[in-house]
């Protein structure tokens, strides 16, 4: 049933129009045009019938033009049918040029009014559909402008990840990505989507851990108008929006057990029912989930449903923490440096090899995200064109300054000693040379020899 608003100061007109439309629409009548803004803010109307003349004057139509503009200001998609006397056709035509959809003449023929109403209703549906398409395109454009890039890494752990991504991307299999915060789980999910058959469709990312329990169903499955206090319009959930494309549910381990069963039901039946509705809509999604929690332990502790885990992890990808792929740190550093020296207009900035050593020997509890933020901060604060160890500030409790020896080769011992002393003095060659008992020139020669 469409929602119709009729605004006219003639009670006979209001009664006659309501009787005619009541069997096919939900009709609200109002004789005071000053109440229009409040009515529009409180609800959505598919068609609005608006009289052209009220108490201000009875012939010019100026009040009708004023309220037409106010309606379109509040709801640009509004479909307004003007009600006017037979002798004011010219005024009504001007109203159509000002944004009205059509007009009806008083006294009207019921068949003519109904035909005008149904045409207006189709126009409203078309406008809403176009708006939904624009919203979806806007969502796609915003997502594509996030700054997605290829995943940086050449270490053995990352090669295994790349291999799995390549194998799984061409399928529609559900994927569960496991990894600590900051390891790039969403980046992996976007890579899978961009390499999949759904690459030209929408990618919808949802941080389910950030959704309040009361809004969980509404956000994921949608709601109809009136389903709860603030449900002022029908709204699709993320499952509907993502239909045809990929849905990424981040931090899925944070979903309460009571709501896990609802999610499982949707995944099994491949259909959703909006909150407040009894009808079901089919969905076609590729599901990718991620969590930083020990989900298998959660199953053992009855905090995560085992059947839901089986449903979401057809393929499982474990993202290694940065401390387990330290050979990627130089690559990542150069990549982030190229971004931020451009962003902050420092095109000549480089990174000192000793600084790389310091970065490689830090534990990185925040993983790649922490490295990215550390480099951005260093670029901003650095007063020279070279990033040195003292431009980075790490907790002494987590920074690793001890080097494990792989051999007792004299060259290796000397290289390790030089790196350790340089780190101790934050790259200060003069202090490092003094403690090593050699000249600055000798230290520079050895640094060049060992590529430090």
User: Do the first three CATH levels of 2-127 and 156-320 match, i.e. the same topology?
Assistant: yes
Whether residue 424 is predicted with pLDDT greater than 90 in this model: the reply is: no
In degrees rounded to 5, what are phi and psi of residue 176?
-115, 120
Task: Report d(CA 357, CA 143) in Å as an integer.
Answer: 35
> Is 103 exposed, middle or buried, given 0-12, 13-18 or 19+ CB atoms closer than 10 A?
buried
**Furthest-apart CA pair in the chain: how many Å?**
107
Which secondary-structure segment (H or E) carries 2? strand 2-7
Top CATH class of 324-450 equals: mainly alpha
List the one residue out of 50, 16, 11 whose CA is nearest residue 33. Answer: 50
pTM over 0.85: no
Query: Given pLDDT bands bounded at 50, 70 and 90, which one contains residue 225?
Result: confident
Q: Please give the average per-residue pLDDT across 345-369, as a whole number.
A: 91
Exposed, middle or buried, 46 (CB in 10 Å: 0-12/13-18/19+)?
Answer: buried
pLDDT class of 7 with cuts at 50, 70, 90: very high
- State the fold for domain 156-320: Rossmann fold (3.40.50)
Backbone angles phi, psi at 189, to 5 degrees: -65, -40
CB 41 within 8 A of CB 10: no
Classify residue 61 as left (phi > 0), alpha (psi -120 to 50) or beta. Answer: left
Residue 247 has pLDDT above 70, yes or no: yes
Query: 83: Cβ–Cβ under 8 A, 6 or more apart, which residues?
Result: 8, 13, 49, 50, 51, 52, 103, 104, 106
pLDDT at 408: 60
Task: Give yes or no for residue 441 having a pLDDT over 50.
Answer: yes
Fold for 2-127, please state it: Rossmann fold (3.40.50)
Higher pLDDT, 247 or 419: 247
Q: What is the mean pLDDT of residues 186-204?
A: 91
Query: What gap in Å lies between CA 303 and CA 254, rounded to an integer?
Result: 9
| Cross-sheet strand order for the sheet of 286-291 | 203-207, 246-250, 286-291, 175-178, 315-318
DSSP codes joined into one string, 92-111: HHHHHHTT--EEEEESPPHH
Domain boundary assignment for the chain: 2-127, 156-320, 324-450
107: left (phi over 0), alpha (psi -120 to 50) or beta: beta
Q: Which of the residue ranges 126-140, 240-254, 414-428 has the most confident prediction, judged by mean pLDDT? A: 240-254
Least confident of 162-166, 229-233, 320-324: 229-233
Residue 47 phi/psi, 5° resolution?
A: -140, 135
CB 274 within 8 A of CB 284: no
Runs of H (alpha helix) within 409-439: 410-424, 429-436
Beta strands in 131-250 (DSSP E): 175-178, 203-207, 222-223, 235-236, 246-250
Name the percent of the chain lying above pLDDT 90: 52
pLDDT at residue 150 greater than cutoff 90: no
377 vs 229: which has the higher pLDDT: 377
Q: Is 411 a residue whose pLDDT tops 80?
A: no
CA distance 452 to 80: 74
Summary mean pLDDT of the chain: 86
Looking at residues 400-410, what average pLDDT do you find? 54
Helix crossing, 110-144 with 11-21: angle to 10°?
70
Residue 325: its pLDDT value, please? Answer: 94
- Contacts of residue 145, defined as CB under 8 A and 6 or more positions apart, other chains included, come to none
d(CA 295, CA 310): 11
Report pLDDT for 57: 57
Helix 89-97 with 62-74: angle, nearest 10 deg: 20
């Amino acid at each position: 049933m469409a929602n119709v608003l009729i605004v006219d100061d003639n009670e006979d007109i209001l009664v006659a129009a309501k009787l005619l439309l009541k069997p096919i629409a939900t009709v609200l009548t109002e004789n005071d045009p000053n109440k229009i803004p409040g009515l529009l803010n409180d609800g959505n109307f598919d068609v609005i019938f608006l009289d052209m003349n009220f108490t201000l004057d009875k012939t010019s139509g100026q009040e009708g033009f004023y309220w037409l503009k106010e309606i379109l200001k509040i709801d640009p998609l509004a479909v307004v049918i003007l009600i006017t006397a037979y002798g004011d056709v010219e005024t009504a035509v001007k109203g159509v040029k000002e944004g009205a959809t059509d007009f009806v003449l008083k006294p009207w023929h019921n068949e003519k009014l109904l035909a005008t109403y149904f045409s207006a209703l189709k126009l409203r549906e078309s406008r809403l559909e176009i708006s939904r398409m624009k919203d979806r395109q806007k969502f796609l454009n915003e997502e594509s402008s996030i700054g997605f890039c290829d995943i940086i890494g050449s270490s053995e752990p990352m090669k295994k990840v790349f291999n799995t991504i390549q194998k799984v991307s061409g399928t529609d299999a559900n994927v569960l990505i496991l990894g600590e915060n900051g390891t790039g789980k969403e980046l992996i999910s976007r890579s899978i989507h961009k390499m999949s058959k759904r690459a030209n469709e929408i990618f919808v990312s949802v941080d389910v851990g950030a959704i309040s329990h009361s809004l969980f169903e509404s956000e994921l499955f949608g709601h109809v108008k009136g389903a709860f206090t603030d449900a002022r319009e029908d709204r699709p959930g993320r499952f509907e929006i993502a239909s045809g494309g990929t849905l990424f549910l981040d931090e899925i381990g944070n979903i309460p057990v009571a709501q896990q069963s609802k999610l499982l039901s949707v995944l099994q039946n491949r259909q959703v029912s909006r909150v407040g509705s009894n009808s079901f809509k089919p969905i076609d999604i590729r599901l990718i989930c991620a969590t930083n929690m020990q989900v298998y332990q959660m199953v053992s502790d009855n905090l995560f449903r085992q059947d839901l885990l089986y449903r979401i992890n057809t393929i499982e990808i474990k993202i290694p923490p940065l401390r387990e792929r330290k050979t990627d740190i130089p690559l990542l550093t150069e990549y982030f440096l190229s971004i931020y020296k451009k962003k902050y207009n420092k095109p000549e900035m480089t990174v000192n090899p000793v600084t790389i050593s310091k970065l490689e020997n830090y534990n990185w509890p925040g993983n790649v995200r922490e490295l990215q933020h550390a480099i951005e901060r260093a670029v901003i604060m650095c007063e020279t064109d070279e990033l040195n160890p003292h431009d980075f500030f790490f907790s002494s409790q987590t920074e690793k300054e001890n080097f494990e020896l792989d051999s007792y080769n004299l060259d290796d011992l000397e290289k390790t000693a030089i790196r350790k002393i340089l780190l101790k003095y934050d790259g200060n060659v003069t202090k490092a040379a003094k403690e090593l008992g050699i000249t600055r020139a000798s230290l520079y020669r050895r640094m060049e020899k060992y590529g430090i």
